[in-house]
Structure 1
Amino acid sequence: MEIFIFVIIILIASILQTSTGFGFSIVATPFLLLIFEAREAIQINLVLSLVISIALIAKIKKDIDFGMMKRFIMGSAVGLPVGIVIFLTVNINQLKLGVGLVILILTILLMLRFRIKESQRRDLIVGGLSGSFTSSIGMPGPPILLYFSGADTQKEKIRGTTLAFYLFIYLMSLLIQVIFAGTSQTVWVSGGLALPLVLLGLYLGQLLFSWIDQHIFRIFTYIILGMTGVYLLIESLG
């Protein structure tokens, strides 16, 4: 049963990554926490997210805003160590509670079309928050999604810059996780088994994107995120 759930999680997260632009980790991490221990769930997500970033980076490298990406990376240098300290000092229920709250707040703010104005200082802050989110819960996306949700920046530049930053932040977070939290065979075996599913999901997502209204996918994503957030909150308190 867990294998079936794992297959569904990876496929849906990969399809939504391509179809809606939502980060793979935002969809996958909460569900992976339900079937793996925290360290394994986060590291499996980091491995697969890194593969996705590598697979897609060649297509969008021309759209990267290197100035913004540099500021994101500078900010993340402060956030990464903070995140690993959080991960090493909280228990699994606290982690699930934190992830659940982040997911619910993110979903509500996205549905309300939260607005924030871009600036170089905010680039650094968002990079720091994203770094701490990645090394603690494996999810760099929430701060960046909120930051860009109401921006007038071209979608191509947002996608390219974000993906390039993800390539850096996932690699650094995975290294930090392995060094300070250790790793296990389960992480690498599960990650290897999931790679074909990720590639299939990215392919299917590209096909679906061409003929299904993206608005429907966003509503579907809100429902998934909302239900997952509520479930994690209930489980962490129960």
Structure 2
Amino acid sequence: MDILASYGWAQIAVAVIATFASAFVRGMAGFGMAILLVPILALALTPVEAVLIINFLALFIGLSELRMFLKYAEKSAWVIGGLVLLTTAPGLMVLAATPPDLARLLIALVALSAFILILLPTRDAKMPGTATTVSAGIVSGLLTGFAGMPGPPVVPYYVGRSIAREIAKASMLAIFTIAAFAGLASGYAIGALEWRLLWLAVLLFPAVLIGNWLGAKMFGKVSETVWRSFVAIVLAAAAIAALIKLIV
């Protein structure tokens, strides 16, 4: 396939396996596909390519879940999503200007920060104040552009509160879908979006569908405590794996 000629088959095989695993986590936890997959893809591809591919995948799967978002997502998700639309482009511009090795290190540190934040004590279900919500939206947008990871400020915002996991999951995934659109639009605007990335994303998407479906099946079978523990473990594993890859 000429369009994929710039990628080795070993790179593609690793990407497929990692995509399936990260999509399973997404279906189970409500997040994690970008946090897990971007550091892995960025080891074989450029950081910009990795971020844009994950945006394609997140948008594809998110559009298939639109009805769930409309039914369960908290109103704050749409506020945060709107801010993500406004702040993603600056983050992507910074990524494009950052040396690849430094970008890979910063992306790994982003994954680590999400784990640290989730360790904070669980708050009550009351929606945070305007300042907290706005800050979450701005930081999420910047990280969407720079690391393809809108999750670090968003996951603690929802999982760190005592709200139903269905609401937390739908709210996070609604934001991530908006973030994916913003990332692709920003990539196109600055000339970083190459259509060969779309074809690679299409190649990986069946792995997303299967992994996400299996993860969603598990989501309805585990308790609230197990789900929250799984969230913390996923974040820890992503951070550790990304840092080890950089050191080794």
Normalised by the size of structure 1, how large is the TM-score? 0.86
Does residue 39 of the first structure (1) align with residue 48 of the second (2)?
yes
1:230 aligns with 2:239: no
Deviation at 1:220, TM superposition (A): 4.9
Over 6 Å off, 4+ runs = none
Flag the 1:226–1:169 CA change in 2: closer, same or farther, 3 A: closer
Match of 2:70?
61
3-state SS in 1 of match to 2:163: coil
| Larger deviation, residues 215-224 vs 156-165 | 215-224
CA distance, structure 2, for counterparts of residue 33 and residue 14 of structure 1:
17
Counterparts in 2 of 1:35-184, with a 5 A limit?
35-66=44-75, 68-113=76-121, 118-184=128-194
Unaligned runs of 5+ in 1: none
Counting aligned pairs with the same residue, the percent is 23
Matched with 1:26 is 35
Change (3 A) 1:161 1:216: closer
Distance in 1 separating the partners of 2:164 and 2:220: 20
Gaps of 5+ in 2: 1-9
Kindly indicate whether the alpha-carbon contact (under 8 Å) linking 1:82 and 1:132 is maintained by their aligned counterparts in 2.
yes
Whether the 8 Å CA contact 1:17–1:24 is kept in 2: the answer is: yes
Cα distance in 1 for residues equivalent to 2:38 and 2:206: 18
* Alpha-carbon distance, 1:195 to partner: 1.2
For 2:182 and 2:73, how far apart are their aligned partners in 1? 19
Kindly indicate whether the alpha-carbon contact (under 8 Å) linking 1:99 and 1:232 is maintained by their aligned counterparts in 2.
Answer: no
Instruction: List per-residue Cα deviations over 1:13-41 (Å, max 9, x = no partner).
Output: 11000112223211111111111112211
Q: Separation in 2 of the partners of 1:219 and 1:234?
A: 23
Give the SS at the match of 2:104.
helix
Give the Cα separation in 2 of the matches to 1:108 and 1:22: 16
Tell me the residue number matched to 2:204: 194
- Looking at structure 1, the residues matched to 82 and 60 of structure 2 have their Cα atoms a distance apart, in angstroms, of 23
AA of the residue aligned to 1:51: F
Moved more, 201-210 or 191-200: 201-210
Q: Is the 8 A contact 2:118 2:160 kept in 1?
A: no
